[in-house]
Amino acid sequence: MALLEVKNLVVEIPNRRGSLRALNDISFSIEPGEILGVVGESGAGKSLTGASIIGLLEPPARVAGGEIILQGERIDHLGHARMQHIRGRRIGAIFQDPLTSLNPLYTVGQQIEETIRAHLPVTSAEARRRAIGLLEDTGIPAAAQRIDHYPHQFSGGMRQRVVIALALAAEPTLIVADEPTTALDVSIQAQIISLLKRLCHERGAAVMLITHDMGVIAETCDRVAVMYAGRIAEIGPVAQVIHEPAHPYTAGLMASIPDMSQDRERLNQIDGAMPRLNAIPSGCAYHPRCPQAFDRCSRERPELMAAGATRAACWLHDAHSAAEVGA
Ligand SMILES: Nc1ncnc2c1ncn2[C@@H]1O[C@H](COP(=O)(O)OP(=O)(O)OP(=O)(O)O)[C@@H](O)[C@H]1O
């Protein structure tokens, strides 16, 4: 059984004139222990997908259709209290800014110990021992002393290590990490990603890793979902998606990976911009930017279809398009 199944997820954001569809018919699954990357330019819908799963969509955004199933249990319509329990115990969350996850008024030890005790049947002495162990595992020097420090006493990179310890504290089976290194110094981004990967692997936790960085995906993930304008454009094993991208958008993202000797920058090398939610183009939303678009692409919207070893929402992979492409 898949650890997580997202089926036909729709997220809407009501506005004065009705509502905007920010996520449309998103379906994917995550297997136990797997690292699934979610990639795409700013505005693709990556964060909304993550927020839907952890039950932290910010109103007025709301799940308007579909199902989110964690270990066989539907979690998309649960109340606040039940979801809060699932969030600590079964799903851990890591956000871009470590200060989002940490309370400035409590020591990091108090926060990790409280999370452990809220979810696991252990004594306070055992919770403290485990908290120190977690901080040691995340590479925080002198963990037995630093555990009594407040979040502001840590550097940005060390704080994100604390957040990883906190996310893992209740031994969740899934970690949703939304751009966990974007706010950090470039020199420590790779360390934090490889730490996250190692710790989750050791504990058998699956990860949904949201990033705009194809380089991070290539180095870290087992499979990847490429998002564009609120839909999945392509999904498949990382090696295949990277080496033989089936969707021209994926190919564009790949071409935008900067030279490894340079600092990574935000993706900016595909001509044009992601459409606004109130102006999604007809047919395939990518067609106005697509170098391989043909007539059908502006008329009909492609669903995900088999494309070599991946699945892509692109008419190039439809047998009936062959004549038109060739024409
Ligand atoms: N509360 C909101 N009100 C209006 N629009 C919103 C709201 N939340 C998200 N959106 C819109 O939904 C779309 C998807 O947003 P989302 O944050 O999921 O994108 P993203 O792929 O995570 O981008 P980024 O990399 O910039 O975080 C964007 O067009 C965004 O402007």
Per-residue pLDDT of the chain (327 residues; tens, 9 = 90+): 899 999 999 999 998 888 999 999 999 999 999 999 999 999 999 999 999 999 999 999 999 999 999 999 999 988 888 998 898 899 999 998 888 889 999 999 999 999 999 999 999 999 999 999 999 999 999 999 999 999 999 999 999 999 999 999 999 999 999 999 988 888 888 889 999 999 999 999 999 999 998 889 999 999 999 999 999 999 999 999 999 999 999 999 988 776 554 555 544 468 888 999 999 999 999 999 999 999 999 999 999 999 989 999 999 999 877 666 654
Torsion region of 21: left, alpha or beta (phi above 0 gives left; psi -120 to 50 gives alpha): beta
The domains located in the chain, with CATH, are 4-90+172-326 (3.40.50.300)
User: For residue 118, how far is its CA from the centre of ligand 1 (angstroms)?
Assistant: 32
Ligand 1 within 6 A of CB of 40: yes
Best substitution site from 46, 226, 228 to test ligand 1's pocket, by max atoms within 8 Å of Cβ? Answer: 46
Q: Are 298 and 219 in contact (CB under 8 A)?
A: no
Beta bridge pairs of residue 180: none
Ligand 1 within 6 A of CB of 172: no
Ligand 1 within 6 A of CB of 42: yes
Whole-angstrom distance, CA of residue 122 vs CA of residue 51: 30
Q: Whose CA is nearest to atom 14 of ligand 1?
A: 45
- Neighbouring CB atoms inside 10 A of 8's CB total 11
Of 211, 112, 125, the closest CA to residue 171 belongs to: 112
Whole-angstrom distance, CA of residue 6 vs CA of residue 25: 9
User: For residue 132, how far is its CA from the centre of ligand 1 (angstroms)?
Assistant: 37
Alpha-carbon distance values, 179 to 6, 16, 51, 94, 319 (Å): 20, 31, 12, 8, 37
Best substitution site from 42, 228, 274 to test ligand 1's pocket, by max atoms within 8 Å of Cβ? Answer: 42
The complex's ipTM works out to 0.94
Confidence (pTM): 0.92
